[in-house]
Structure 1
Amino acid sequence: MIIYEKEDSYICIAQHDHARISGDLLSAWADELFGSEDRREELNLAAYEHDSSWIELDRIPLWNDAASAPFSFRDFPGNIRFVFYSKAIDRLQETSEYAALLGSILYTTLAERFRNEDTISFVEGEFARQSVILEKLQLNVNLLQEHAKALLLCDELSLFACMEPPGTPREHYEWFANGFPYWFDRTGGTSLIAEWKDERTIALEPYPFSRIVETRLFYKEVGKAEAAKLGISQVYQKAELREQVITIVPK
């Protein structure tokens, strides 16, 4: 679950809802940046489903006693989350081996950034999965790399939309203050910059999409005082699911 704090409440965003935003973004990706239409549907499937492992984990938030706050995706126990990651990729592989491969590459890329004792067996197992699929499908590796990079970028752009209050100045983001690594700009640029124009609009430069993207952010707001009194699980389940439209435009 993606969680950020307000003065009197927690904003809670289910990971699968965050993935829906990344899928909406990737579905709008400009065709010429790929150079091919091959496996486009499977690429979109990978984006929409890449966080399906969190559906059960996010059914209710768990309380982190050490932090005196709910667990978020940043600090959720690794020995639990990585088991669910692998199971979700297993299920996706039954539908599309290519989408499962992309999901596996995304997860291992992120796990390698924060490598610790919880990630080792997961990463090794996923590397083995990737080798088997690569050998079986006889893929265009260059195209696969482009797809994996696009998936990672759309995942991170969705995090930009979700992990801080809408309208937050870019310099206040822990991870994205200096922009996003960008591999597709034919002018030689290496970074993509995202900025909130207002609380409902994000502007990007350069702009990798073929059209303006309208997407929806679903979230629940949980009052801190009520959660302390009744428990966060009960309060979260009763909270209204809210929706905010977000539009992504060229700068």
Structure 2
Amino acid sequence: MLLRRDGDSVIAIGQASHAWVSGQMARAWHPRLEPYEEICLAAEQHDVGMAMWDLAPALNPRTGLPQSFVEMDLGVHLGLWHAAPARLLSQSRYAALLVSLHGSKLYSLRDLAAMPVVEAEQIRDYLGTQRVFQHQLAGELGIGPELLHELQELMFTLDGLSLAVLAPWDPFEIGGITVRGLTLDPWPFEPAELTVRCEGRRLHGTFDDEQQLHVALDEAERVDLELVLRPR
């Protein structure tokens, strides 16, 4: 769940909706990505593991709002990322591989030495499982280590750019691209400007318990977000 402040309300954007924006960016990328459809599918589905959780997210009792993706319980978050790549296997092994690579990238950034031992071991177990999965698929697809690294960095960049414009994070830098508001420098897309779209749910106020939150989400006004990105 991504929480976007909008006046005195909050727009709750599901992770799958944010990933849709990553997919739109992938389709507009310059130079054209190859294999095009597989990479665009992976970008669009990279948070597929979160889709059901976001329909009824946990409450953050401190804020009275849904837990954002950076506030989730580690065990829950790891469980969803464990399951995510397999959800794409019936569609595309290539996309499943990229989603696995992306999850590994996100968790590799954590300082395991500074974490409780039990949590650090959970992450090591996750990373080890994903390495086996990645090795198998990369072998089947004939993808070498250098290309795997490039694809992992591309997924990380597409994810970060989407989060930066939706959250928004201003300024933000990722993959050599600086985001300020809705401007990007250097410009990574084919068209002279790019309009991206996604959906969210508008929440007013805060909530005391999860049942109250879930009712509010079910009844919330649906918001169509449309953002016009331009070169700086």
Normalising by structure 1, what TM-score? 0.80
Structure 2: runs of 5+ lacking an equivalent: none
SS in 2 for 1:218: strand
- Of stretches 112-121 and 122-131 in structure 1, the one that deviates more from structure 2 is 112-121
Alignment of 1:46-195 (within 5 A): 46-66=42-62, 68-114=64-110, 115=112, 116=115, 117=119, 118-164=122-168, 170-171=170-171, 176=172, 179-180=173-174, 182=175, 191-195=176-180
Residue 195 of structure 2 corresponds to which residue in structure 1? 214
Residue 187 of structure 1 corresponds to which residue in structure 2? none
Q: Tell me how far apart the structure 1 counterparts of residues 54 and 201 of structure 2 sit (CA, whole Å).
A: 12
For the pair 1:44 / 2:24, whether they are aligned, the reply is no
Residue 31 of structure 1 corresponds to which residue in structure 2? 31
Q: Tell me how far apart the structure 2 counterparts of residues 133 and 64 of structure 1 sit (CA, whole Å).
A: 37
Q: Tell me how far apart the structure 2 counterparts of residues 6 and 213 of structure 1 sit (CA, whole Å).
A: 22
Letter in 1 for 2:139: E
SS in 1 for 2:68: coil
Query: Does the CA contact (< 8 Å) of 2:179 and 2:185 recur in 1?
Result: yes
Check 1:244–1:68 CA distance in 2 against 1; reply closer, same or farther (3 A cut). Answer: closer
Residue 16 of structure 2 corresponds to which residue in structure 1? 16
Please report how far the alpha carbon of residue 142 of structure 1 lies from its aligned counterpart in structure 2 after TM superposition. Answer: 3.4
Please report how far the alpha carbon of residue 59 of structure 1 lies from its aligned counterpart in structure 2 after TM superposition. Answer: 0.4
Letter in 1 for 2:214: S
Normalising by structure 2, what TM-score? 0.86
Check 1:68–1:222 CA distance in 2 against 1; reply closer, same or farther (3 A cut). Answer: closer
Query: Does the CA contact (< 8 Å) of 2:11 and 2:223 recur in 1?
Result: no
Letter in 1 for 2:225: Q
- The number of residues matched between the two structures is 222
Cα offsets for 1:174-193 (capped at 9, x unmatched)? xx2xx22x3xxxxxxxx311
Q: Tell me how far apart the structure 1 counterparts of residues 48 and 164 of structure 2 sit (CA, whole Å).
A: 19
Q: Tell me how far apart the structure 2 counterparts of residues 248 and 4 of structure 1 sit (CA, whole Å).
A: 17
SS in 2 for 1:210: coil
For the pair 1:250 / 2:223, whether they are aligned, the reply is no
Query: Does the CA contact (< 8 Å) of 1:16 and 1:55 recur in 2?
Result: yes
Letter in 2 for 1:133: L
- Of stretches 103-112 and 116-125 in structure 1, the one that deviates more from structure 2 is 116-125
State the identity %: 25
SS in 1 for 2:226: strand
Please report how far the alpha carbon of residue 249 of structure 1 lies from its aligned counterpart in structure 2 after TM superposition. Answer: 1.7
Q: Tell me how far apart the structure 1 counterparts of residues 91 and 198 of structure 2 sit (CA, whole Å).
A: 26
4+ residue runs over 4 A deviation: 4-8
Q: Tell me how far apart the structure 2 counterparts of residues 126 and 144 of structure 1 sit (CA, whole Å).
A: 13
Q: Tell me how far apart the structure 1 counterparts of residues 70 and 99 of structure 2 sit (CA, whole Å).
A: 18
Residue 232 of structure 1 corresponds to which residue in structure 2? 213
Across the aligned residues of Structure 1 and Structure 2, the Cα RMSD in angstroms comes to 2.2
Which of 214, 222, 225 lines up with 1:241 in the alignment?
222
Please report how far the alpha carbon of residue 31 of structure 1 lies from its aligned counterpart in structure 2 after TM superposition. Answer: 2.2
- Of stretches 7-16 and 155-164 in structure 1, the one that deviates more from structure 2 is 7-16
Query: Does the CA contact (< 8 Å) of 1:26 and 1:151 recur in 2?
Result: no
Cα offsets for 1:110-168 (capped at 9, x unmatched)? 0111245142221111111111112222214433333322221111010012223xxx7
Query: Does the CA contact (< 8 Å) of 1:92 and 1:100 recur in 2?
Result: yes
Structure 1: runs of 5+ lacking an equivalent: 183-190, 197-201
Letter in 2 for 1:203: T
Residue 188 of structure 1 corresponds to which residue in structure 2? none
Check 1:239–1:67 CA distance in 2 against 1; reply closer, same or farther (3 A cut). Answer: closer
Query: Does the CA contact (< 8 Å) of 2:26 and 2:158 recur in 1?
Result: yes
Q: Tell me how far apart the structure 1 counterparts of residues 148 and 164 of structure 2 sit (CA, whole Å).
A: 24
